[in-house]
Structure 1
Amino acid sequence: MIKRDGAMPSLWQQTVEPLPFNNEAPAGNYDVVIVGAGITGISLALRLQTAGLQCLVLEAHNCCFGTTGGTTAHLNTMLDTPYTTIIKHVGEDGAKLVAQSVKEAIHHIEKNIETYQADCGFERTAAYLFAQNVQQEKELQDIVTACEKVSVPVHYSNNIPLNIPFTKAIEIPAQAKFSPVQYVYGLAKAFIAAGGRIIEQTAVTGYTHRTDEVVQQEIIEVQTDAGYSYVTNKLVFATHIPPGVNVLHMRCAPYRSYAMAVKLNGPYPDELCYDMYDPYHYYRTQLIDGEPYFIIGGEDHKTGHEDNTAACFNKLEAHAKKYFNVESITHKWSSQYYEPADGLPYIGELPGARPNVYVATGYGGNGMVYSQVATILLTDLITTGASAYASLYNPNRIAPVAGFANFIKENADVIKNLVSGLVTRTQLESLSGLAHNEGRVVVFEGHKIAMYKDGNGNLHVLNPTCTHLKCSVSWNAAELSWDCPCHGARYSIDGVVLNGPANMDLKKIELKND
């Protein structure tokens, strides 16, 4: 089973074995270096490699460690941001282009599966969106009208494949589902077979531009925590959210979503289904090794803004048992995504960076399809310098944030760090009153301290100041992690970075002997 960025294993982690390859890459020049080995990074690397470019993928943990390992893997042309909203932001022509791009994205996945024989349970199926009150019916009618404007086929249906009361519903044909980690690992093996290289357990710590004196061309040198540097012509951050500090962090709001896989007594619905509450619930079935699993998701909230994350699972379980004959719950997990300010992702040149540095972020809840939009768009930009989708998803379409540079400086200057050795273990034990496997941010002599007591009673003590932009982290009891409520950085119980945009661990606090 592979690892991912949470304490609770997802359904997908058990579907693959770690990649069988030598985790090394020779120093030298690469046409493209891609940071991040999720669905975006691996899909893009394979497409570029087969186009004749030599590619290197650098991954801080392991392939599919992040959100790709925790998605529920719906493949939709009916997006989380409805076309009613998209039309308001980019007009009908722009919305048609969005619809065209996600349709092309699903086809791209289908074609890859056929080309590379990726055994990942891909299946075309219809999707259903259903209303349960008068207000939702009106919203549904508006969605139907908008879908007709952008040529996304929909029609009203008198039935849905779930035993949930509804007042009105629509069917959207030609959607799809698959097992995402199996898909990505299939592509990763094809990428390696084509001469590409992947290095896992290697974090990128920075990059610099310089001029190659031999060819008199600007190149990018990428530094890693392993002490190695790699030279490239193009650099792509496929890390879900770019590391470091960037204006995009002010335009992407981090959210957690919850999911569970269950075994049912009775039939398993084949189709994708969605209710219309905010946050909404989503449902589907996936066959894995011939065994059906019914997957239910929902209870979304902003990262670090929910005090009792375990309660989100309790609510989701209660919802599942209310409407379905649940035999057992096999998996529970949560995952992170980033909502863009205007409902569309940011794919293209990284704002504020020099040329030839690219980013793909802000996918919202549609990461599987937008990852393929990014693959298509960035391949076109890198190989030809143009794309039909470039303007639509351009990260530089956002207005600069007033006072952004001053905000960063001031936010960094006001933080006071707790010096290690000022406090004893006994003092903290009496102060916190932590139970085993409990974490909490406490205040000691005017300083905040992040504390976790493990199952053996050992204390793990950290400075709770997020290393990204100095917010204070919050404890996530469900995933046993420290989550930043500002920009979504997440850390393990020992302060190791699990999710960007932070690229440095939380500072450990060494306790004084009693």
Structure 2
Amino acid sequence: MRRDGKTTSLWQDQMPDYESENQVLKSDKIYDVLVVGGGITGITTALLLQKSGKNCIVAEAHSIGFGTTGGTTAHLNTMLDTDYHTLINDFGEKSAQMVAGITLEAINTIKRLASDYQANCAFKEVPGYLFAQNEEQAKYLDKIVEASRKVGISIKYTDQIPLPVTYQKAVVFDKQAQFHPTRYVFALAQAFEKVGGTLWQHCQVTDIDEGDNIRVTTSQGIIQARKLVYATHIPPGVNLLHFRCAPYRSYVLAVTLNNEEQYPDGLVYDMEDPYHYYRTQEIDGQRYLIVGGEDHKTAHMENTEICFRNLESHVRQHFAVDQIVFKWSSQYFETTDGLPYIGHLPGASDNVYVATGYSGNGMTFGTVAAIVLTDLLTTGQSSYKDLFAPGRVKPVAGFTSFVKEQVDVIKEFASKWFSQSDLKELAELAHDEARVVEYEGTSIAMYKDERGQIHAVNPTCPHAKCAVAWNSAEKSWDCPCHGSRFSCDGELLTGPARSNLEKINIDELEEADGE
């Protein structure tokens, strides 16, 4: 299956693209709910809504699992990136208890759905471990333990962790889990279609006309719906939430070990910043150690290959590595206050909803979002409506005018052909190298692939005029402002942008070596 990067994740291996039922898109039909996005949030939400009696359609710009769901490490946690000590301080003990409760409900929902639809996703309940390696971390770990107990998390100190590392203090907590995410989402998608849902892949939303009935223009035709859910990891267009969610990338290795005893039975986390996370996954009889870390803000690392090298060095320092089988990176969004935004999209019509800002807990919070959104769209109420309300973020003065000015900000780029004889900078590009160059006052983002072919695009992101930067690991142009990502030819991989980078025509594309 395809994913939004050039590296291959463990979850893509031996997985074809999902094949949806051959259905006809009827432009005159009005669906109850249109869900935009075919990851764990969108597919779970659509299935739950369809089972509740709503007539739903899913529009996925690529193929399901294309985004973060296909690049996760698939930890299922009640112990979150934003710890309960912080949540109690920022939101109060009752709200923190609610977070603990709904995340446990989400894990149990995944367990139930995996069983109900025979997902063959290797769902497994496992303990979780958190360990401190110095005095400062150990003191903070004590605060986490105290706060976690207050909100109902079963947690205790332990003198054993399933990793070959040294540590000062460690804890173990119950009722965590893991699974194979793409097998799970594929099974839910099949179930959604079997109960009457409509799933359209390669259906990119290009324009939305809001109102009592929402009219959506897509690459496949017109879709009309009474309500709309953005399950796209970050909503498209320009919205308040883009300025309250920061995009990050995380790096992952799946390795085989020479020592079978070193595969950890559980989810394990250190307390470094950024932290490392570990677990074991068995697929068709083969065990893999999955290790992630080296997180940084999107497009803020000049050479992303270094992140993989650093992670590999870390793994080899502690484990008897046989082979690095898979390596990949993925994107997530951090909110300003540590909790996701789930509910009505600020600034949109009352019938437009969103779920975003999951931090590193996408599989858990994606399912939380499906539970909350299903309640909101079927009854109008949810016990968690206020806790996760996107409207808890208030726009600053002048924000509405700013958004208006940013929409469709990109002017038509020069459509003339550039020749290589004019662009002397091209000769300086090595194979598999990218750079933004200036030519007669114009910025051009260029990449020379392994065959020597030049790919050139306008480096200005069509979302809010930020300049993209090259991601050498995933061979993509990434926006540092709001996380939009594009292929070397400018094709949109990840929103919130709604359109591609403008492609630049360069004559004589084939470049001879040494020319």
The two structures have a TM-score, normalised by structure 1, of: 0.95
1:219 to 181, 202, 213: 213
Runs of 4 or more above 6 Å deviation? 412-417
Counterpart residue identity of residue 7, structure 1: K
Match runs of 1:344-359 below 5 Å: 344-359=339-354
Question: 1:8 matched to which residue of 2?
Answer: 7
Once the two structures are superposed, residues 219-277 of structure 1 have per-residue CA deviations (whole angstroms, 9 ceiling, x without a partner) of: 11121022x11111111000000000000000000000000100001121111100000
Counterpart residue identity of residue 242, structure 2: H
Question: 2:247 matched to which residue of 1?
Answer: 254
Q: Distance in 2 between matches of 1:383 and 1:412?
A: 32
Counterpart residue identity of residue 132, structure 2: A
Question: 1:193 matched to which residue of 2?
Answer: 194
Report deviation, 1:17.
2.6
Match runs of 1:34-113 below 5 Å: 34-113=35-114
User: Are residues 261 and 340 of structure 1, via their aligned partners in 2, closer, same or farther at CA, if it must alter by over 3 Å?
Assistant: same
Question: 1:172 matched to which residue of 2?
Answer: 173
Question: 1:363 matched to which residue of 2?
Answer: 358
Q: Distance in 1 between matches of 2:67 and 2:304?
A: 19
1:263 to 250, 256, 276: 256
**Once the two structures are aligned, what percentage of the paired residues are identical?**
54
Q: Distance in 2 between matches of 1:412 and 1:340?
A: 23
Q: Higher mean Cα deviation, 104-113 or 445-454?
A: 445-454
Counterpart residue identity of residue 354, structure 1: S
Counterpart residue identity of residue 158, structure 2: S
Give yes or no for the alignment of 1:498 onto 2:493: yes
Report deviation, 1:19.
2.6
Give yes or no for the alignment of 1:402 onto 2:402: no
Match runs of 1:383-394 below 5 Å: 383-394=378-389
Report deviation, 1:288.
0.6
Question: Which runs of no fewer than 5 residues in structure 2 stay unpaired?
Answer: 510-515
Q: Higher mean Cα deviation, 498-507 or 435-444?
A: 435-444
Report deviation, 1:429.
4.5
Match runs of 1:469-480 below 5 Å: 469-480=464-475
Once the two structures are superposed, residues 371-430 of structure 1 have per-residue CA deviations (whole angstroms, 9 ceiling, x without a partner) of: 111111000001101001111000001011332234346667997765132632223254
Residue correspondences, number? 505
Report deviation, 1:183.
0.5
Report deviation, 1:446.
2.3
Give yes or no for the alignment of 1:328 onto 2:329: no
Question: Which runs of no fewer than 5 residues in structure 1 stay unpaired?
Answer: 211-217
The two structures have a TM-score, normalised by structure 2, of: 0.95
Q: Answer yes or no: is the 8 Å Cα contact 1:6–1:481 preserved in 2.
A: yes
Q: Answer yes or no: is the 8 Å Cα contact 1:412–1:470 preserved in 2.
A: no
Q: Distance in 1 between matches of 2:24 and 2:297?
A: 38
Match runs of 1:295-306 below 5 Å: 295-306=290-301
Question: 2:183 matched to which residue of 1?
Answer: 182
Q: Answer yes or no: is the 8 Å Cα contact 2:410–2:462 preserved in 1.
A: no
CA RMSD after TM alignment: 1.6
Q: Answer yes or no: is the 8 Å Cα contact 2:256–2:288 preserved in 1.
A: yes
Once the two structures are superposed, residues 153-208 of structure 1 have per-residue CA deviations (whole angstroms, 9 ceiling, x without a partner) of: 11000011000110000001111000000110011111111111111011011221
Once the two structures are superposed, residues 118-163 of structure 1 have per-residue CA deviations (whole angstroms, 9 ceiling, x without a partner) of: 1101100101000000110011011011101111111000011000
Q: Distance in 2 between matches of 1:192 and 1:290?
A: 30
Q: Distance in 1 between matches of 2:396 and 2:308?
A: 36
Q: Distance in 1 between matches of 2:153 and 2:114?
A: 24
Secondary structure of the structure 2 residue equivalent to 1:297: strand
Counterpart residue identity of residue 397, structure 1: R
